[in-house]
Amino acid sequence: MLLFKFIFSTYIKYLFFILIALELFYVGIDYLSNAHKLPDSANIKIIYSSSVALFALNYTLPLSVILSQITTILSLIKRNELLALNAIGYSKKSVSSIIFFISLLATLSLIALNSTSFAYAKERIDNIQDNGTTVTSKENFFVKYQNSYIYFERLYPLFQRAEVIRIYELENGNLKRIIKSDRAFYRDDFWILESPTIIKKPDTLELGGEGLDVQNADRLETLRGFKPKILDNVYETRGVLSIIDAIESIKLLNIEGINTDKIRSVLYSLLMFPLFAPLFGLVICRFAPLQSRYENLSLLAFKAIMLALSSWGLFFALSKLSTSGLINPEVSILLPLVLMMAFSIYSYNKS
d(CA 70, CA 331): 29
- Based on its alpha-carbon atoms, the radius of gyration of the chain, rounded to whole angstroms, reads 27
- pTM score: 0.75
Residue-level pLDDT at 267? 85
Question: What count of other Cβ atoms lies within 10 Å of the Cβ of residue 196?
Answer: 21
Contacts of residue 92, Cβ cutoff 8 Å, sequence gap at least 6: 82, 86, 285, 286, 288, 290, 351
The dihedral built from the CA positions of residue 62, 63, 66 and 67, taken in this order, carries a sign that is negative
Domain parsing of the chain, residue ranges: 2-116+266-350, 136-226
**CB of 222 within 8 A of CB of 193?**
yes
Walk along the chain (351 residues) and give the pLDDT tens digit of each residue: 788 888 888 999 999 999 999 999 999 998 888 888 888 778 888 888 888 999 999 989 999 999 999 999 888 888 888 778 778 877 788 888 889 999 999 999 999 998 887 887 887 887 787 776 666 666 677 777 777 788 888 777 666 788 888 888 887 777 888 888 888 888 877 888 888 888 887 766 666 666 677 788 888 888 777 776 665 555 554 556 788 878 877 777 776 666 777 788 888 888 888 888 898 888 887 777 777 676 777 888 888 888 888 888 888 888 888 877 678 888 888 888 889 889 888 888 876
